[in-house]
A and B are shown apart, each in its own frame.
Chain A
Amino acid sequence: MKSILLQKQWSWLLSGFMLGMSFLLAVVLVKPIGVSTQYPIVDGILWEQVQPDLVTENGENKSGYGSSNAYFNENGGKYAAAIAKPLTYGLVFVLAMILGGFVARITQRSGQPELYTPSMVSSELNSMRLKRLQRVFVGGFLALLGARLAGGCTSGHMMSGMMQTSLSGFLFAAAAFAAAIPMALYLYGREE
């Protein structure tokens, strides 16, 4: 048996255990895992390059920073502060996640790297690359618009939320699956 670090894919039980450990360790050591907040933060960091006065120091806000943008100014300027000083726990965590995906990929090198989901050999996903890219673009757009409206995504609401038994986590998970299942069946249902 290969070391679990080198297995291409973990069994569902090991997968579940490791997922649970990730979320539990994060709460025990720091705070619940969340990802989607960093998307508008990165937007803000980019936006600031073209409009330097997007975020300004503001003594009235709890964070000491404020913004002309209502969203960044919310919660005592928490997001404005994260844009002004981007080396935050949240952003570093998300960057480390990308690196984690890279490291894991190295340990599973065998055969072709999957660039455009070619493993779905017999489906449209693979045969029509343009269609795939359109779907992934619109999907990304909707997913982040929704995540920001909801105040969290699959990580923050569904996993971190439900493990704390938060009402919002259960509502979010129900709504997300209620939309995702019909969408996947509609777009990919008839394909083998």
Chain B
Amino acid sequence: MQIALAILLGLFFGFTLQKVGAANPVKIIDMLRFRDLHLMKAILFGIGFAMIGLFVLLHFEVLNVASHLSVKSAYTGVIVGGVLLGAGWGMAGFCPGTGLVGLGAGRRDAWVFLIGGLLGAFLYTLIYGWIKGSFLFTTIGGGKSTLAVTGNKAFPALFPDIPGYILGCGIGAGFILVSLLLPVLKKRRVQTGVEESVPQDTTKETPAG
């Protein structure tokens, strides 16, 4: 049953990322350099929508959703790791998930991302034993905490006095509002011949032999 859901949800998510344009490095890089905020608007709306949906379901205690939550711990490494991931994301235009979707969509550069990613993760498994007692794992803000009350006792709320659904829906509405207000900023690209400025094009397939 779990495996069937893994296939269905994975297919849906991969399909969505491709249709959204998130698996296209050009769209990611254009978002990051403020040329095209289509994706930024979609991401903000998506988070806001999911947040409101989640906190409404949590409030009415339907489908046992609170037990499905999984809040990750906050520690210094989240920030350091976030910076490293951001650097790689801005450089490649792929993140760990969208690189795989790009692979499925037939992008050859995604294979190189995958190999780089597997090596980066491999390095981490090798150094983990040395760094695990270090400052990188100092907890922040109580570890697995949320802003809004979720109803799952494993995850303490930073604002325990505000009803969870009010704060959750409020923050979600904030995300949606920003998504609506942001301009798309899509600029037309002028086609210019850049190829001529490349002294030696190593990319052309030369006939073997």
Contact = CB atoms under 8 A, between A and B. Distances in A.
Do A and B interact?
A: yes
B100 A35 contact: yes
A87 interface: yes
Contact of A136 (B65, B109, B128): B109
B9 A96 contact: yes
A139 B116 contact: yes
B20 to A, nearest CB: 4
Interface residues of A: mostly helix, strand, loop or mixed? helix
Interface residues of B: mostly helix, strand, loop or mixed? helix
Contacts, number: 538
A161 B180 CA distance: 22
Given A27-B54, A144-B120, A22 B9 contact: yes
Interface residues of B, number: 133
Interface in A149-192: 149-185, 187-189, 192
Interface residues of A, number: 130
Interface string A128-147: 11101101111111111111
Contact of B3 (A92, A166, A185): A92
Interface in A94-134: 94-105, 108, 113-117, 119-130, 132-133
B87 A179 contact: yes
Given A143-B85, A167-B141, A168-B73, A159 B107 contact: no
Interface of B: 2-3, 5-26, 29, 32-33, 38-39, 41-51, 53-54, 57, 63, 65, 68-75, 77-110, 112-126, 128-129, 132, 136, 140-142, 144-148, 150, 155, 158, 167-168, 171, 179, 184, 189-192, 194-195, 197-198, 201-203
16 contacts: A12-B41, A25-B12, A43-B121, A46-B118, A94-B10, A96-B10, A101-B103, A139-B93, A140-B117, A140-B120, A152-B72, A154-B89, A154-B98, A171-B79, A175-B80, A185-B33
